[in-house]
Amino acid sequence: MTTKSEQRLASTQRLLDSALHLFVSQGYRSTNLERIAANARLSKAAVLFYFGSKEAVLLELMKRVQKVVVDEALKAGAAGGPCAADKLVAFLHHQARLGVTHRDEVLLLILMSLEFGGRDGAVSRLIRRIYRRLYRFVEKVIAEGRAKGELRADLDTRELASIVMANHDGTFLEWYRRSESLKGAALVRALREVVLSGVSKKRRS
């Protein structure tokens, strides 16, 4: 027999999965509670009972993103190897694997950062905190690589990290937009080579 706690868990999971799909495919503003509930085969009252508001649903999803996408990616990058390039590659490869196993979670972070950009509120603040963690990790790796003479030192660390993250986010958006014609493995290889070429110390001819 299914207990009430198990029913609650199953219902909230269905609602979150429904909201994740709709937020990614339709956008946050174009998605209402009725569509989230209908897609999960539940009532609007159920959404309000479990979460209270559409914003609360998104916040719960962003917490999942932080755990699945960010925490694990930073852990993988830090353990990537002794060199800065190894850490960057490990970080990018982990994110690429998530593009297969948790594609919508990765896309949710990127798309919501665009939709909530320049706005205030709990969602915007959480997204900024998540991205600050990603930027700080990449900046730290680049700074350490520069200090060891492994990475180029002619460009500012902050700007280099921004370009790395721009390539990261842009690659996921391109993969999503042209998923039928692009091969993930080849795209990731291109991303890795472009990023490493851009941050590596230039050899004198």
- We report the CATH number of the domain holding residue 161 as 1.10.357.10
Give the pLDDT of residue 6.
Answer: 82
Q: Indicate if 15 and 67 belong to the same structural domain.
A: no
Q: Which two tokens stand for residue 7?
A: 């029913």
Q: Indicate if 47 and 76 belong to the same structural domain.
A: no
Give the pLDDT of residue 118.
Answer: 87
What's the rounded Cα separation, in Å, for the pair 127 and 107?
13
Q: How many domains does the chain have?
A: 2
Task: Tell me the residue range of the domain where 159 lies.
Answer: 54-199
Give the pLDDT of residue 205.
Answer: 45
The pLDDT averaged over each successive group of 10 residues in the chain (205 residues) is 80 96 97 96 95 97 93 93 93 87 93 93 96 96 94 94 94 88 85 90 60
Residue 112: Cβ within 10 Å count:
23
Task: Name the pTM for this structure.
Answer: 0.89
What's the rounded Cα separation, in Å, for the pair 146 and 164?
15
Q: Would residue 205 count as lying in a domain?
A: no
Q: Indicate if 59 and 48 belong to the same structural domain.
A: no
Return the DSSP state at 67: I
Q: Please check whether residue 80 is in contact with residue 91, taking contact to mean a CB–CB distance below 8 angstroms.
A: yes
Q: Indicate if 95 and 118 belong to the same structural domain.
A: yes
CATH number at residue 12: 1.10.10.60
